[in-house]
Structure 1
Amino acid sequence: MELSCKTEYALLALLELARQYNAAEPLQIRQIAAQQHIPDRYLEQLLATLRRGGLVKSQRGAKGGYLLGREPWKITLLDLVNCLEGSDAQPSTKETIHKSVESAVIDEIWKEVNETAYQVLHSYTLQDLCEKRDARRQLDIMYYI
């Protein structure tokens, strides 16, 4: 399974907003794009989708920009995937009347894969990713000392 480019960029943008969460200062698209190396126009579309999904909120004006729509510990990776891909983002299995034994076995495995992926996505929050990122940065700093 691969992370789509759209989901990865959205996650990078959310991580950048989470980094600034305690400051309660909105970030402009160009700031997020520059920090995370995301094309401005694409990020603009992603943030609009995330805003409609309630994951981010926008603030107008000269000091405007984007903020997280909820606390980082209340945004799961599943929330992000559902927002971008729709709540029915799970691959469908073909229902046929005369299914072979092999097809039934494959369907069972894919159902298990989907359930496991759902559990993992539901268990990780944006806060968890921030903590993992900070721990990794700390390890990188220790490595260079």
Structure 2
Amino acid sequence: MELSCKSEYAILALIEMATHYENGEPMQIRQIAAQQNIPDRYLEQLLATLRRGGIIKSQRGSKGGYLLSKEPWKITIYEVLECLEGLDVRVSEETSNVKSVDSAVVDEIWQEACLAANAVLQNYTLQDLCEKRDARKQLDIMYYI
């Protein structure tokens, strides 16, 4: 299991949007890209996918941009990854009679690992990531003083 570059960039963009959620103003692609060091063109594609998945919404006009579709504490990392990766991250209940005992054991452990990973991802929201980031920034500031 590895976090793809696509997912990492999207989560970083969503954290940026969650940080500015309270002011209610949409964020433009170039703002988000500059803050998180994400290529504009790539971010544009990611945001389109997130919009189609219902994670964010867009607003047109001179003051247009992108906003979270709901509160940051209601958007789980699991939802984001499911939207981006198009994965059916649910574990299959099918067992094949053709598989060897060794293969069945490996599949069983892999399913257990996937369930554990899904549980963790379902427990963390964008708000949680923002709070962890802020706490880490505070530690960095205190360390250098």
TM-score interval (norm. to shorter): over 0.9
The one-letter code sitting in structure 2 at the alignment partner of 1:43 is L
Q: How do 1:62-141 residues align onto structure 2 when only pairs under 5 Å count? A: 62-89=62-89, 96-141=96-141
RMSD: 1.7
Contact 2:91/2:111 (CA < 8 Å) preserved in 1? no
Runs of 4+ in 1 over 6 A off after TM superposition: 91-94
2:127 & 2:91 partners in 1: Cα distance?
28
**Residue matched to 2:4:** 4
SS in structure 2 of the partner of residue 26 of structure 1: coil
**Residue matched to 1:36:** 36
TM-score when normalising by structure 2: 0.94
Deviations 1:10-67 (A, max 9, x none): 0000000001001111110001001101110110000001011111111111111111
Q: Matched residue pairs, number?
A: 145
1:91 & 1:6 partners in 2: Cα distance?
23
The one-letter code sitting in structure 2 at the alignment partner of 1:74 is K
Structure 2 spans left out of the alignment, 5+ residues: none
Change (3 A) 1:60 1:24: same
Contact 2:77/2:124 (CA < 8 Å) preserved in 1? yes
Deviations 1:65-106 (A, max 9, x none): 111111000000111011112251468799543321110110
1:77 & 1:15 partners in 2: Cα distance?
11
TM-score when normalising by structure 1: 0.94
**Residue matched to 2:49:** 49
